[in-house]
Amino acid sequence: MANQEKSWEKRLSGSVDELAVDFVESLSYDQRLYKYDIAGSIAHAEMLAEVKIITKAEAAEIKKGLLEIGDEIAAGKFTFDKTQEDIHMAIESALIGKIGDAGKKLHTGRSRNDQVATDIRLWMRDEIEIMLTRMTQLQIAFVRLAEKYTDDIMPSYTHLQRAQPVTVASYLLSFVEMLARDWSRMKDCRDRLNVCPLGSGAVGGSTLPLDREMTAKNLGFKDITYNSIDAVSDRDFCAEFIFCCSLIAAHLSRLAEDWIIYTSAEFSFIRTDDAYCTSSSMMPQKRNPDMLELIRGKTGSVYGALVAMLTILKAQPSTYNRDLQEDKIHVFNAADTTDACLQMTAAIVSHTTFNTKRIANGLDEGFLDATALAEYLVRKGVPFRQAHGIVGSLVALCEKENKKKLAELSTEQFKAACDKIDDDVFQMLDPAGVCKSYQSKGAAGPKDAEAQIHYWKNKLREQ
Ligand code: ARG
């Protein structure tokens, strides 16, 4: 135990246990908030001067000192002392060291509780801007790849069993849709968090005539928070942000899973660039899709952050508790991991080719045209349920007779199954033909793929 006095802890004896110093500090990870802490402090000081709690000269001194500290931190010349606990105390005590008495007035009408709540919101606003751009970049990468494959057909799978034929472009564009939802969800999150808690103080506000609207406006917030008790402990936006990250991670993980399967020798649907593969320390032939596997794996860490965040919020008594300090660990982890995965995915998508020949050669397998044949019967007046049964029996007949595809059946066999079937049936029995015949909006044929590409190119340019 040592004796070390903290200026803000006069009521304590000053005894120090190193274990407790390490346990309580957040400086090691909240120092990345420094720019936002400084911006918040400058806005606060200017407001204090405006309402005449401090002088304009003092506010100017505070601003100058804080900007210098910001430069020192940016240049790596600032000594972070973990006994200061967090970035807020580290900056404030450096300011007092630098400018003396004026520095001691900065914390007037403020608590670290409203300060940290403001800092995270400011940081998250910027972080979300970055993530929105990353999502757009990934969408652009998908659209560019899709453009190359509007006429190439691949099997789609449900239950990982061959289902209906689709264009490669339509498959790729499905991820653009997922990312569009992620994008707007993240944007909503940004809109909702963009309110300023500064001036809520420790919990009950302040007896001083703070102009909260002014601080909020100067920091670019769209509004202030309206209940100080709620404002100091509201971390809903942190949970919401991590949830947004979690769904992005889920979407990227599903893509990764597809492409890990597609790169296997059994599928060989795609080739990703060597830069995104690793080899084996023992098996010289290996070309493993490790980046994709890590994108899938890192999803676990993002989900972990969400569960951690929600659990931190659960059953805390009302208002600020130190539990909340842990929020940043999970928010930063989710943001960094998701950001890295978005960038890596965009790089992989931009350097992947589809083995269209190999895919085309395998299209005869799996009776991809079966549904279209049932719909052909519907057009001939057969009720769909009955048509479904007829085609099901024809597929079973193919399997019994070792025929790989429906087109190998004879006209007589078709007629025996249903007398409404004519010779024109054979036109329907080809995956590429089926894709071209898709009529419903949003279907996975070349026409719709082109329309979707057109739509996204315009939309993404504006985004
Ligand atoms: N480092 C703390 C956090 O991240 C700042 C707030 C501390 N407030 C307090 N009353 N001890 O939550």
Is residue 438, in this structure, part of any structural domain at all?
A: no
- Asked if 53 contacts 109 with a C-beta cutoff of 8 angstroms, the reply is yes
Range of the domain at 36: 9-108
Backbone angles phi, psi at 111, to 5 degrees: -130, 160
- 309 and 391 in a single domain? The answer is no
Ligand 1 geometric centre to CA of 74 (Å): 23
Q: Which of 340, 361, 382 is the last residue of a domain?
A: 361
Ligand 1 geometric centre to CA of 321 (Å): 8
Range in 263-272, 282-291, 389-398, 399-408 the model is least confident about: 282-291
Q: What is the pLDDT of residues 13-46, one digit of tens each?
A: 888 899 999 999 999 999 999 999 999 999 999 9
Given the CA of residue 324, which atom of ligand 1 is nearest to it?
Answer: 12
CATH at 290: 1.20.200.10
Ligand 1 geometric centre to CA of 112 (Å): 6
Query: pTM to 2 decimals?
Result: 0.96
Q: Please, what's the largest Cα pairwise distance for the chain?
A: 100
- 64 and 207 in a single domain? The answer is no
* Closest CA to ligand 1's atom 3: 325
- 45 and 171 in a single domain? The answer is no
Is residue 385, in this structure, part of any structural domain at all?
A: yes
Angle between helices 327-350 and 236-262 (to 10 degrees): 30
Q: Cα Rg for the chain, rounded, in angstroms?
A: 31
β partners of residue 166: 154
DSSP SS3 for 5:
coil
- 86 and 197 in a single domain? The answer is no
Nearest to 17 by CA among 3, 31, 29, 7: 3
Is residue 442, in this structure, part of any structural domain at all?
A: no
Residue 124: which residues within 8 A CB-CB, separation 6 or more? 190, 193, 237, 238, 241, 331
Range in 84-93, 270-279, 337-346, 369-378 the model is least confident about: 270-279
CATH at 414: 1.10.40.30
Query: Which residues are the active-site residues?
Result: 159, 280
- 140 and 154 in a single domain? The answer is yes
- 94 and 64 in a single domain? The answer is yes
Whether 26 is in the pocket of ligand 1, judged by its Cβ within 6 Å, is: yes
Report the percentage of the chain scoring pLDDT > 90: 93
Question: What span, in angstroms and rounded, lies between the C-alpha atoms of 350 and 142?
Answer: 8
Q: What is the pLDDT of residues 353-387, one digit of tens each?
A: 999 999 999 999 999 999 999 999 999 999 999 99
Question: What span, in angstroms and rounded, lies between the C-alpha atoms of 272 and 284?
Answer: 18
Question: What span, in angstroms and rounded, lies between the C-alpha atoms of 457 and 463?
Answer: 10
Is residue 460, in this structure, part of any structural domain at all?
A: no
Question: Which tokens in the block code for residue 379?
Answer: 């057009």
Number of structural domains the chain divides into: 3
- 254 and 335 in a single domain? The answer is yes
Question: What span, in angstroms and rounded, lies between the C-alpha atoms of 459 and 139?
Answer: 11
Whether 107 is in the pocket of ligand 1, judged by its Cβ within 6 Å, is: no
- 58 and 131 in a single domain? The answer is no
* Closest CA to ligand 1's atom 4: 325
- 160 and 21 in a single domain? The answer is no
- 214 and 321 in a single domain? The answer is yes
Given the CA of residue 26, which atom of ligand 1 is nearest to it?
Answer: 1
Whether 27 is in the pocket of ligand 1, judged by its Cβ within 6 Å, is: no
Q: Average pLDDT, whole number, for the chain? A: 96
- 161 and 63 in a single domain? The answer is no
Q: What is the pLDDT of residues 250-259, one digit of tens each?
A: 999 999 999 9
- 190 and 310 in a single domain? The answer is yes
Question: What span, in angstroms and rounded, lies between the C-alpha atoms of 77 and 81?
Answer: 13
CATH at 82: 1.10.275.10
